[in-house]
Amino acid sequence: MPTVQRERQGRTALVNRVLDHYGLKLKDWSGSSYVLKGQTGKSAMVDNLSQMWAEAEGLTGRDFDPLDDDLIAALNSRRD
Amino acid sequence: MAYSDFIQVNVVTGFLGSGKTTLLQRLLHSPDLQDTAVLVNEFGEVGLDHHLLQSVTESTLLMDNGCLCCAIRGDLQGALTELFDQRERGDIPAFKRVVIETSGLADPVPIAYTVLAEPILQHHFRLGNVITTIDAINGASQLNEFEESVKQVGVADRLVVTKSDMAAVDDVARLREELQRLNVSAPIFDAAHDDLSPERLIVEDLYDLKGKMREVEYWREQEDHAGHDHTEHDHDHGHTTGVTSFALTFDGALDWTAFGIWMTMLLNRHGDRVLRIKGMLNVAGQPTPVLINGVQHVVHPPLHLEAWPDDDHRSRLVFIVRDISRAKIEASLAAFNGLANVEVAADRVA
């Protein structure tokens, strides 16, 4: 698999570990964009990570805060 | 063309009367800066005599998201494009750098955003240093009263204290201490007593071959004697309350992907409160360090150093933030980085 594709796959998998906390999932779209999907079927196309966080907040109406204690605890629990 | 060969855009900012023009006047006499174009927002009382001097009127075009720091400065966009066209046509000498002098209350961040994000400019120009002048007589009260002043100090790469020969020694010392607290990564120069080297103030920056090693060394020195959190003070800081700078050190390599996810998420939610992030990272799988440099939502392209400066291969990050605790940043970044290790382990099992 070409390096760029492998990197995209790795990035998508890692982002999904974070998005899981909010009930969202990111999927690669033809190797050029991504589709962000919510549990209710709402979705949005995004080109990059910076754009994705704002879209994720729009889809869920929640703040995606990396400093949130609950998120940090959830991420840490995956290591246990 | 290498990124280091792009035209360097420096910003000189500081309150009205803090000595911006006097500083520029002094620096522009140097032969080192003869190939510099100068943009000023207004022709002030102190006349600047320079062959490549142009005036602009500050105007800001807000982006759709209404974020003030992610705003294209339409005047600069026009002025820099025009300067570049004149240079290409041979109408003016082929300048290597630009210095922009802002008005006293200007926010330097939209200037950074304009240079780094404007579709045409980003292919010819790169952001150099933000140099902030602070008047030793009025600087402390301006920091206390005006948020703009705190921001100008927070985003600076170089701080220049002016008029210190007219202020009490103790007051100057207290001002320097406060500046250091607000911005641990910027060297402080004294216009009255130091020999202000154009090379150190303007020519050398993170993307200059000699400058980048010197920058890294400086961050490390600062971390050694100012690495602790500066938030604990028992006197009133007025507008500076909540703004703090600190340096973090991490043992072991950081995962680049996890770091990118963390930083984009942090800047999306807190970009208005993250005045600066600078750092030298030990990235997993990379033999040499990567430099990162961001001003609010505006992030420079990451830069790979050719070598480690010495045997200390720890990652170092300097943060200048408003109302965000060091402990939160540390815990959050560690949690995201830990996730990458889980990912690697999971991949191995699969």
A77 interfaces chain B, CB cutoff of 8 Å: no
Mean pLDDT confidence for B136-163: 94
CB distance B265–A18 less than 8 Å? yes
Give the list of residues 6+ apart from residue B77 with CB closer than 8 angstroms, or none. Answer: B114, B118, B121
The tokens for B260 are 């990118």
Is B3-216's fold the same as B235-349's?
no
For chain B, give the percent of residues with pLDDT over 70: 82
How is chain B split into domains, by residue range?
3-216, 235-349
Give B177's pLDDT tier (boundaries 50, 70, 90).
very high
CB distance A67–B342 less than 8 Å? no
Q: Examine the pLDDT at B244 and tell me if it is beyond 80.
A: yes
Q: Examine the pLDDT at A40 and tell me if it is beyond 80.
A: yes
pLDDT of residue B12: 94
Alpha helices in chain B (DSSP H): 20-28, 74-89, 109-117, 139-145, 147-154, 169-182, 198, 209-226, 256-270, 326-349
pLDDT of residue B158: 95
pLDDT of residue B345: 40
β B290-295/B298-299 pair status: antiparallel
Could you tell me which of B242, B268, B297 has the C-alpha nearest to residue B68?
A: B297
The tokens for B285 are 């799988």
Q: Examine the pLDDT at A60 and tell me if it is beyond 50.
A: yes
CB distance B339–A49 less than 8 Å? no
Burial class (CB in 10 A: 0-12, 13-18, 19+), B188: middle
Architecture of domain B3-216: 3-Layer(aba) Sandwich (3.40)
**Least CB–CB distance from B268: residue in A10, A17, A54:** A54
pLDDT of residue B256: 93
pTM of the model: 0.82
B273 interfaces chain A, CB cutoff of 8 Å: no
CB distance A67–B332 less than 8 Å? yes
Mean pLDDT confidence for A29-45: 89
Give B232's pLDDT tier (boundaries 50, 70, 90).
very low
pLDDT of residue B51: 59
The tokens for B330 are 């540390």
pLDDT of residue A32: 83
CATH of domain B235-349: 3.30.1220.10
What ipTM score was computed for the predicted complex, to two decimals?
0.95
User: Per residue in B264-310, pLDDT tens?
Assistant: 999 999 998 999 998 889 999 999 999 998 888 888 888 888 888 88
Q: Examine the pLDDT at A1 and tell me if it is beyond 70.
A: no
